[in-house]
Structure 1
Amino acid sequence: MTEGNGKPAAINAGQITGGQFRYFDFVMAAFVVVLVLSNVIGAAKLSAVEIGGYHLIFGAGVLFFPISYVIGDVLTEVYGYARARRVIWGGFFALIFLAVMTAFVVALPPAPGWDNQAAYEAVFGPVGTGTLRIVLASMAAFWAGEFVNSYVLARMKLWTGGRMLWTRTIGSTVIGQGFDSLIFYPLAFYGVWSNEQLLTVMVTNWAMKVGWEAVLTPVTYMVVNGLKRREGIDVYDEGTDFTPFRTKV
């Protein structure tokens, strides 16, 4: 459905009927894949880059995890808050399954002659209260950060009348990633890292995530505009129930 000038038709979220979208499932799959892989591969590794004699310390996952926020922005901007909410819950349950599967596989006794258990635990974490603490912190931070990000973007779209997409993508990320970092790092590492290191990593990672969002703004514009043209709609969340505690569209 498009307007006479070929632009996607601006409609309220409540006017959308089921099965109307051609690309929603692909965007949803991309979101969950990036989210899970970011937590599997980069969550536990601290990296450092020397810049002018100063070591910039950051979690390795920060290089790819922000892509999930970019995809989250695309979901909310193109398909509306309610459908983004369903995807966030899907990602949340995927993280739960990841945590359960990882704990189970790590806890399985190694076969005789297989000497890689220590290396396996070094990558995925040994089963214990420390690992559980990080997992719970990660899930809580993801849940809060993603919902805040989606809510702020949807509200800003109404306030701006759909103009200035960059203000919504960057502004929602500043707030959403702020919630994510403020929840995750203290819950996961307070008392484990020094307060100075905790604050440094928290602020650095937040700044890098927001910076990534800004750098990827042209890509976000390209994907959002392309999807809106192909789907033929531009969704506004007028009258949307913004509670996160439901999955109904």
Structure 2
Amino acid sequence: MNKPDSRLQFRYFDFVLAAFVTILLLSNVIGAGKVAEIDLPAIGMWPFGAGVLFFPISYVIGDVLTEVYGYAYARRCIWAGFAALLFMAFMSWVVVALPPAADWGNQAAYEAVFGQVPRIVLASIIAFWAGEFVNSYVLAKMKIWTRGKLLWTRTIGSTVFGQGVDSALFYPIAFLGVAGWTNELVVQVIFTQWAIKVAWEAALTPVTYAVVGWLKRREGVEIFDTDTDFSPFAKVEQP
């Protein structure tokens, strides 16, 4: 099958979409605001953003979406995630801005967790949108080139490009010129986060194989995007 037939009724697409958006929002709510630290052999203490532990899972799910359902359906999920991020950012701003009750003493803590800097929010949304579309595009094209074989080459290869774009956009937009962030530090963090995310993708390859294989059997499809319009702004498929 070259592309998804609009008459198909996928049994599990909605669940994969929900998982994709859930992981995306959690990575921004739970992990984005915390800097963790790990003691690496021969290196010492190394700081990293806690969100890097599970944000790459959204890329794994993005790979599954494109591999199983095709680029057009993955595009639908990316736009859903984009809208969810915008809504979350807006509601976070509204809730933080609401005047607290006189006897409620947790406003400072609430602001520390949910009062995100607008520049960082903007960087996160832009980087996600661009990175996910690059990831999906590369995977869909590589599936055609590999004739559906060697799944690991396209899941890892697409992540190399997608996460590269994500990191290259997020950190300069969010931190370049900010006090304490030298140009060298921004570049170092870009490459560190990119390497960690790609390593996570590689480590999760067996999981990706298992999920992709199970979904393809259940849905009864094998989609190649040979005639797909790859514009992010093309008409979104309706499942």
TM norm. shorter chain > 0.5: yes
Amino acid at match of 2:111: E
User: Cα distance, 1:196 vs. partner?
Assistant: 3.2
2:89 to 69, 93, 99: 99
1:244 to 209, 212, 232: 232
1:64 matched residue in structure 2: 54
CA-to-aligned-CA distance 1:68-126 (integer Å, 9 cap, x gap): 00000000000000000001000000000000000000011111011111111111126
TM-score by length of structure 1 reads 0.91
Q: What does 1:64-213 align with in structure 2 at a 5 Å threshold?
A: 64-125=54-115, 131-192=117-178, 193-213=181-201
For the 8 Å contact 1:43–1:60, the answer to whether it is kept is yes
Amino acid at match of 2:91: M
- What is the RMSD computed on CA atoms of the aligned residues? 1.2
Amino acid at match of 2:171: Y
Amino acid at match of 1:227: L
1:43 to 32, 52, 63: 32
Structure 1 Cα separation of the partners of residues 235 and 83 of structure 2: 13
Instruction: Look up the SS of the partner of 1:12 in the other structure.
Output: coil
The size of the alignment, in residue pairs, is 234
TM-score by length of structure 2 reads 0.95
User: Cα distance, 1:19 vs. partner?
Assistant: 4.5
Instruction: Look up the SS of the partner of 1:203 in the other structure.
Output: helix
Structure 2 Cα separation of the partners of residues 40 and 243 of structure 1: 29
Structure 2 Cα separation of the partners of residues 229 and 19 of structure 1: 15
Structure 1 Cα separation of the partners of residues 10 and 29 of structure 2: 30
1:7 matched residue in structure 2: none
2:219 matched residue in structure 1: 231
1:221 to 209, 215, 230: 209
Structure 2 Cα separation of the partners of residues 177 and 247 of structure 1: 25
For the 8 Å contact 1:57–1:200, the answer to whether it is kept is no
Structure 2 portions without partners, runs of 5+: none
Structure 2 Cα separation of the partners of residues 44 and 199 of structure 1: 20
Amino acid at match of 1:41: I
Runs of 4+ in 1 over 6 A off after TM superposition: none
